[in-house]
């Protein structure tokens, strides 16, 4: 798999390196003729790619997060300087990946030292200051990173065939749902290449490789559709039982986030049948309700249940985030994956059910439970502990394990979810 990815990425190496060299020489790449005015899809602007549930929806993204991508090439002594403001959001991180699309390094929100005179709202539960008082700087370097200087390693320690990587900014659950970047501008970028500093402003809007023709579009489509698609196809064991949550075989090649771990279940639609998933809901800092993301005592920073198509390019269909999940008096959630004909909104109104739409009924599905950043006290019941200990999550997670079953839609409507587990 990794060899195939490297061959595909080879098509963009010349584009990335050549464009960066042109920038160093003082030549800014011209915008594509079909691109919006003032927007250049190549490295003439930063954060060229954006992935979410509607744009570049590939490789099982969370519908409550947005991912911005910056391809780069780093030679010895080169670096990438970032300057930005901490977003008003539940979670934020900087992540680097090599040509195998696996994690090289992660600099998480509460690990980033703020600028002098600024505050990091993820490090302590404080009232959110204005953006001008929550600024930060960080640097991507090719070798070992010094955390005291907010450095991030940009290339794998073991080396790789080409000095190319990807930097991803993740933002989960912005306070303002209409501002995916959390009410702040994306980080400004300055490439330090061959001794020259080249400032690059964020793009006016992201570049979807499917919208354009040419080598960049073709190469990036290969990466995001083919390479990631192959990795996604292998994320769950081929013999995984339906309606049973298990640990993935691997998340390699899927731009994994080290702060998240997942368990997943395969599902297949049948007319008149729904999937019911029930488990205990962990506590979390409800930032949409005004809590600080650093609120002490919460079990997870974030969790969600997401339903995805298990067919290339492996898009997310819908997610129910923690804050949007109904919980009963005992602290349990009950999700129902249902087609509109099987469960209508009026049949759910007033219940403790949270409905996740089935979407296309002609393809197999995979449902993932995400656990992000468990507290020390919650860790033994988390997905993270299950994977670290190579244990069966059905046993190790206790009441927090999501127990899934198929159920006739008529049974659910007539007798409630309880009848589905008899």
Residues 78 and 194 in one domain: yes
User: How far apart (Å, rounded) are the C-alpha atoms in residues 377 and 409?
Assistant: 38
CATH of the domain at 394: 2.60.40
Residues 99 and 214 in one domain: yes
* pLDDT tens per residue across span 140-151: 999 999 999 999
Query: Which pair of structure tokens corresponds to residue 385?
Result: 């502990």
Mean pLDDT, rounded, for 206-212: 57
Residue 162 has a pLDDT of 84
Last residue of a domain, one of 227, 257, 272: 227
Residues 395 and 301 in one domain: yes
Least confident of 37-46, 67-76, 252-261, 299-308: 37-46
- Inside any domain, residue 273: yes
- Inside any domain, residue 371: yes
Query: Which pair of structure tokens corresponds to residue 93?
Result: 């991180």
Last residue of a domain, one of 205, 227, 249: 227
- Inside any domain, residue 233: no
Could you tell me which of 206, 225, 217, 219 has the C-alpha nearest to residue 47? 206
Residues 341 and 384 in one domain: yes
Residue 365 has a pLDDT of 92
Last residue of a domain, one of 202, 227, 252: 227
Residues 253 and 217 in one domain: no
- Inside any domain, residue 222: yes
Residues 110 and 179 in one domain: yes
* pLDDT tens per residue across span 303-357: 999 999 988 778 889 999 999 999 999 999 999 999 999 988 888 888 899 999 9
Range of the domain at 105: 2-227
| Model confidence band, residue 34 (pLDDT cutoffs 50, 70, 90) | very low
For residue 242, CA distances in Å to 46, 264, 311 come to: 42, 10, 16
- The pTM assigned to this predicted structure is 0.86
Mean pLDDT, rounded, for 377-388: 96
Could you tell me which of 263, 302, 327 has the C-alpha nearest to residue 173? 302
- Inside any domain, residue 332: yes
Residues 13 and 158 in one domain: yes
Residues 243 and 211 in one domain: no
Residue 121 has a pLDDT of 97
Answer with the residue of higher pLDDT: 155 or 217: 155
Q: How many Å is the maximal CA-CA distance in the chain? A: 71
Residue 233 has a pLDDT of 61
| Model confidence band, residue 11 (pLDDT cutoffs 50, 70, 90) | very low
Q: Which segment, 24-28, 37-41, 182-186, is predicted with the most confidence on average?
A: 182-186
Strands (DSSP E) contained in 268-321 are 273-280, 300-309, 316-321
Residues 214 and 276 in one domain: no
Contacts of 293 (CB under 8 A, 6+ apart): 89, 90, 91, 109, 121, 122, 285, 287, 301
What percent of the chain shows pLDDT beyond 90? 60
- Inside any domain, residue 234: no
- Inside any domain, residue 87: yes
Residue 349 has a pLDDT of 83
Residue 311 has a pLDDT of 84
Decide if pLDDT at 158 tops 80. yes
Decide if pLDDT at 268 tops 80. yes
Mean pLDDT, rounded, for 173-194: 93
User: How far apart (Å, rounded) are the C-alpha atoms in residues 176 and 199?
Assistant: 29
Residues 129 and 267 in one domain: no
Least confident of 44-48, 166-170, 368-372, 373-377: 44-48
- Inside any domain, residue 353: yes
* pLDDT tens per residue across span 227-252: 666 666 666 655 567 899 998 876 65
Residues 287 and 221 in one domain: no
| Model confidence band, residue 221 (pLDDT cutoffs 50, 70, 90) | low
Decide if pLDDT at 217 tops 60. no
* 320, 354 Cβ separation under 8 angstroms: yes
Answer with the residue of higher pLDDT: 135 or 351: 135
Residues 184 and 298 in one domain: no
Per the structure, the count of domains in the chain is 2
For the chain, the C-alpha Rg in angstroms (whole number) is: 22
């Amino acid at each position: 798999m990794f060899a195939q990815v490297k061959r595909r990425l080879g098509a963009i190496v010349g584009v990335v390196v050549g464009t960066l060299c042109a920038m160093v020489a003082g030549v800014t790449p011209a915008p594509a003729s079909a691109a919006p005015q003032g927007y250049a899809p190549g490295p003439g602007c930063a954060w060229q790619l954006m992935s979410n549930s509607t744009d570049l929806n590939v490789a099982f993204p969370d519908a409550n997060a947005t991912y911005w991508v910056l391809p780069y090439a780093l030679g010895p002594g080169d670096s990438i300087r970032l300057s930005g403001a901490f977003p008003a959001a539940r979670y934020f991180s900087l992540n680097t990946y090599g040509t195998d699309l696996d994690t090289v390094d992660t600099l998480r929100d509460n690990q980033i030292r703020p600028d002098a005179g600024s505050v990091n709202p993820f490090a302590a539960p404080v009232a959110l200051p204005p953006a001008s008082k929550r600024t930060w700087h960080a640097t991507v370097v090719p070798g070992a990173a010094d955390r005291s200087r907010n450095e991030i390693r940009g290339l794998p320690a073991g080396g790789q065939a080409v000095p190319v990587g990807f930097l991803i900014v993740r933002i989960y659950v912005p306070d303002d749902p209409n501002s995916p970047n959390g009410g702040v501008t994306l980080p400004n970028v300055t490439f330090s290449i061959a001794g020259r500093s080249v400032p690059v402003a964020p793009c006016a809007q992201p570049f979807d490789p499917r919208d354009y023709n040419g080598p960049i579009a073709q190469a990036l489509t290969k990466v995001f559709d083919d390479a990631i698609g192959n990795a996604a196809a292998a994320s769950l064991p081929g013999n995984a039982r339906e309606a049973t949550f298990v640990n993935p075989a691997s998340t390699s090649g899927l731009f994994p986030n080290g702060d998240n771990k997942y368990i997943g279940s395969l599902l297949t639609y049948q007319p008149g049948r729904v999937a019911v998933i029930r488990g205990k809901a962990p506590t979390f800092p409800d930032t949409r309700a005004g809590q600080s993301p650093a609120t002490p005592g919460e079990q997870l920073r974030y969790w969600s249940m997401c339903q995805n198509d298990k067919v290339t390019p492996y898009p997310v269909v819908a997610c129910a985030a923690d804050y949007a999940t109904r919980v009963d008096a005992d602290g349990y959630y009950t999700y129902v994956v249902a087609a509109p004909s099987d469960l209508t909104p009026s049949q759910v109104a007033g219940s403790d059910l949270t409905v996740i739409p089935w979407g296309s009924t002609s393809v197999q599905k995979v449902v993932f439970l995400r656990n992000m950043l468990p507290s020390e006290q919650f860790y033994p019941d988390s997905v993270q502990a299950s994977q670290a200990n190579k244990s069966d999550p059905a046993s190790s997670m206790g009441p927090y394990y999501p127990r899934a079953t198929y159920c006739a839609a008529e049974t659910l409507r007539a007798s409630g979810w309880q009848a589905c587990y008899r």
